[in-house]
Amino acid sequence: MRERLSFKLNHLGNEARYDLSGSILDLRSAKTPLRFSFIYPAVGKSGCVVKLFKVLQTNMCENNCRYCAIRKDRNIPRLYFKPKELASIFMEYYRRGEVQGLFLSSAVFKSPDRSQEMIIETLRILRREFNYRGYIHAKILPGVSYELIEETAKWADRLSINLEAPSGDYLIRLSEDKNWYELYKRLKLVSEVTRKFNLRAGAITQLVVGPANENDRDILRLTEHLYRGLKLSRVYYSGFTPIIDTPLENVPPTSWWREVRLYQADMLVKKYGFRHDELPFDKNGNLPYGVDPKLGWALKHPELFPVEINRAPYEMLIRVPGIGRVGARRILEYRKVHRFRYPEELRTLGINAKRALNFITIDGKAYFTPRLIAYSL
């Protein structure tokens, strides 16, 4: 019995890895190897790394998405957890302090509503019967009824539904079972519901990057809308990895660098006020791998630099390569009582002066370093 449970947990945990709980940049600090295939690092709002019990309710799926490891036509062991069984086993790990939260997803078993109801029942048992007050991230399944989105929100801290691709034209290359517009409608509702119920970790979505031949411009155009229009908390980018015995098994994997550049550009759109169409795309609409997007943008705009560090407003300071939002705030504080005269003053504020010096003057004096010419777009 125990062996069977452990077999299920390992399988359904391992198969849950395709749903991201942190970006590759967020998780750079999570170096500690985790003991079990169903425990994953995630990054909390404060930046601390927490361990999530991440698992599927079931891997029995009615659908055949071309990229998916648990698509209907793939020959793998099909398993499921009854709600009480899953809630109980999660609580064992939680009480022992091995995990700090739950991320529950599922394949589409019988129907989207049937599967969502199983998720809801597991969450209800956790909250009501086990009095669990900790973090829960619950997946909303494609095609689910609107009422069940609200019902799921009653028990969760974060909801997500994956758009998978930046538009319907791209999604059709990945799945004939999912309709992008239906996914988008539900994501919009998920966002509204998370705000209505004041869910502390908000709403997120995820895109599979690479196999639909979309470009970064298409992705980041959508990203801008998702943050500014739908008010999502995060957008995750899952670089494609081919899986044997799927229709996309011969499609090459997506470069790690593409994911890194997307996350850097995402940060510029989300936190630095960049519009997607300001980003330094190449002629194919992709971000170059060889230069980070903020530096790439600055190199394309020599007419805006250098800026005088003693006068530049916050909005311009955060666009200077090497100066982040924290650094810009420290500069403004410092300026209230001092006038910058030397590069060392920037270093004492924890600012990457080496890079920033190419784009600023200090008290009217330039400190450019010729090595920057090495970056080319």
For residue 51, give the 3-state DSSP assignment. strand
Between residues 25 and 60, which has the closer beta carbon with respect to ligand SF4?
60
Is residue 144 a contact point for ligand SF4 (CB under 6 A)? no
Let me know: does 335 contact 282? Beta carbons within 8 Å: no
Between residues 70 and 265, which has the closer beta carbon with respect to ligand SF4?
70
Only segment of 64-72, 127-135, 264-272, 311-319 that touches ligand SF4 (CB under 6 A): 64-72
Query: What DSSP state is assigned to residue 252?
Result: P
* Six-digit token string for 183: 């996914």
Count the neighbouring beta carbons within 10 Å of the beta carbon of residue 200. Answer: 12
Between residues 235 and 309, which has the closer beta carbon with respect to ligand SF4?
235
Is residue 61 a contact point for ligand SF4 (CB under 6 A)? yes
User: Of 234, 208, 334, 228, which Cα lies nearest the Cα of 274?
Assistant: 228
Between residues 106 and 361, which has the closer beta carbon with respect to ligand SF4?
106
Tell me how far apart the alpha carbons of residues 202 and 151 are, in angstroms, rounded to a whole number: 15
Q: Which of 70, 187, 189, 262 binds ligand SF4 (CB under 6 A)?
A: 70
User: Of 163, 140, 136, which Cα lies nearest the Cα of 50?
Assistant: 136
Q: Which of 50, 91, 107, 320 binds ligand SF4 (CB under 6 A)?
A: 107
Alpha-carbon torsion angle 17, 21, 25, 28, nearest 10:
-70
For residue 138, give the 3-state DSSP assignment. strand
Between residues 10 and 310, which has the closer beta carbon with respect to ligand SF4?
10
Between residues 63 and 361, which has the closer beta carbon with respect to ligand SF4?
63
Q: Are strands 360-362 and 365-366 parallel, antiparallel or unpaired?
A: antiparallel
Closest distance between ligand SF4 and the C-beta of residue 345, in Å?
Answer: 52
Size of interface with ligand SF4, in residues (CB under 6 A) = 10
Residues 249-288, one symbol each (x = binds ligand SF4 by CB under 6 A, - = not), give: ----------------------------------------
Q: Give the type of residue at 222.
A: L
Let me know: does 191 contact 225? Beta carbons within 8 Å: no
For residue 204, give the 3-state DSSP assignment. strand
Is residue 68 a contact point for ligand SF4 (CB under 6 A)? yes
Closest distance between ligand SF4 and the C-beta of residue 64, in Å?
Answer: 6
Rounded to 5°, the CA angle 104-109-114 comes to 80
Residues in 162-191 that interact with ligand SF4 by CB under 6 A:
175
Between residues 149 and 295, which has the closer beta carbon with respect to ligand SF4?
149
For tokens 């691709």, name the residue.
165
Closest distance between ligand SF4 and the C-beta of residue 240, in Å?
Answer: 13
Is residue 65 a contact point for ligand SF4 (CB under 6 A)? yes
Q: Three-state secondary structure along 319-369?
A: CCCCCCHHHHHHHHHHHHHCCCCCHHHHHHCCCCHHHHCCCEEECCEECCC
Between residues 80 and 132, which has the closer beta carbon with respect to ligand SF4?
80
Query: What DSSP state is assigned to residue 74?
Result: S
Q: Which of 23, 57, 58, 63 binds ligand SF4 (CB under 6 A)?
A: 63
Q: Which of 20, 108, 212, 269 binds ligand SF4 (CB under 6 A)?
A: 108
Give, in order, the Cα–Cα distances in Å from 211 to each of 171, 251, 276. 10, 7, 22
**Which residue ranges make up the site for ligand SF4 (CB under 6 A)?**
61, 63-65, 68, 70-71, 107-108, 175
